[in-house]
Structure 1
Amino acid sequence: MAHDHAADGSDQWHAPLRHVRAAEMSTDTGQTPGMSRSEAISARTVGSERLWMGRTTVGPGATSGNHHHGDSETAIYVVSGRPVFVFARDGEEVRLTPEPGDHVFVPPFTPHREENPGDEEAVVVIARSSQEAIVVNLPPGSLREV
């Protein structure tokens, strides 16, 4: 079976895998007060075309600012700690309390924030349906008013 070769001799079936070491992750990406995002997989770091992936940490007792991620879908995997994800439904704030090993889905344009009421850092891995870390920070206050 023949494969299409690019001008440089490579082809879509033999593109190299890319390894991004933890120490190489960059915090030069969209940030929200109260948390820290590190970028691993993106258009900028590895040339991805439809995916962004990284890590977010929220320190003990910290709360992030309200924000959303534009038209990106966001998938979250809880690595450690006890993060709380807060959003509004029917005019009331709802709190999701996943445990390590759990997943959370954040729909596009949904205002939310992360909280960490625990005494250990909360660490999550995030993946988005775009190659950019879209972060739209919102004014402080209740998510019911957003």
Structure 2
Amino acid sequence: MTDHWHRPLRHVKGGELSGNTAQTSGMRRLEAISGRTVGSEKVWMGETHIGPATNSGDHHHGEAETAIHVKSGHPVFVFAEGDEEIRLEAGPGDYIFVPPYVPHREENPGGEDAVVIIARSSQEGIVVNLPSLWAPVDKPAD
């Protein structure tokens, strides 16, 4: 009999990440930790690859907070502030925080792949693809 506090740890090897998760054009998400892969209840974690000279489609991650760590390359994170497009240029070792429901996109203007590690406050990879950064977002009332 196993109680709640004595469950096994789960090990997902780097070569076992799954592409069977929500996707956005211009990037490839790989899922490591999720409700589906390890039975997590409150976190999703994986990595995203953005090829050279590529932009992702505009999207948001619903109610999930997203934390991003740049593993390699020099991705640019783009979001709208009023009528202005804001660009955050990042490099290896940097971190980016994306609040819930915020439309954004990733760009990779460089000549090498950009790889980022992602953690979300949901057990599944929520992705809502949008036609633009200024598209209306369906957000539940507070």
Scaled by the length of structure 1, what TM-score is found?
A: 0.90
1:11 corresponds to which residue? 3
Return the letter of the residue paired with 1:80: S
Task: Return the index of the structure with the highest Cα Rg.
Answer: 1
* Aligned pair partner of 2:17 in 25, 29, 34: 25
Return the letter of the residue paired with 2:53: G
Secondary structure of the residue aligned to 2:54 is: coil
Stretches of 4+ aligned residues off by more than 6 angstroms: none
* Aligned pair partner of 1:71 in 53, 59, 63: 63
Contact 1:93/1:144 (8 A) holds in 2? no
Deviation track 1:11-36 (CA, whole Å, cap 9, x = no partner) reads 23321111101121110100000000
Contact 1:60/1:116 (8 A) holds in 2? yes
Secondary structure of the residue aligned to 2:37 is: helix
2:98 corresponds to which residue? 106
1:62 corresponds to which residue? 54
Contact 1:26/1:40 (8 A) holds in 2? yes
* Aligned pair partner of 2:86 in 91, 94, 107: 94
Return the letter of the residue paired with 2:24: T
Query: Deviation of residue 99 (structure 1)?
Result: 1.3
- Gapped regions of structure 2 (runs ≥ 5): 137-142
Q: Which whole-Å CA distance do the structure 2 matches of 1:17 and 1:133 have between them?
A: 21
What's the % identity of the aligned pairs? Answer: 65
Scaled by the length of structure 2, what TM-score is found?
A: 0.92
- Gapped regions of structure 1 (runs ≥ 5): 1-8
Deviation track 1:38-75 (CA, whole Å, cap 9, x = no partner) reads 00000000000000000000000000000000010000
* Aligned pair partner of 2:42 in 46, 50, 57: 50
Contact 1:52/1:132 (8 A) holds in 2? yes
Match status 1:134 vs 2:94 = no
Q: Which whole-Å CA distance do the structure 1 matches of 2:135 and 2:43 have between them?
A: 31
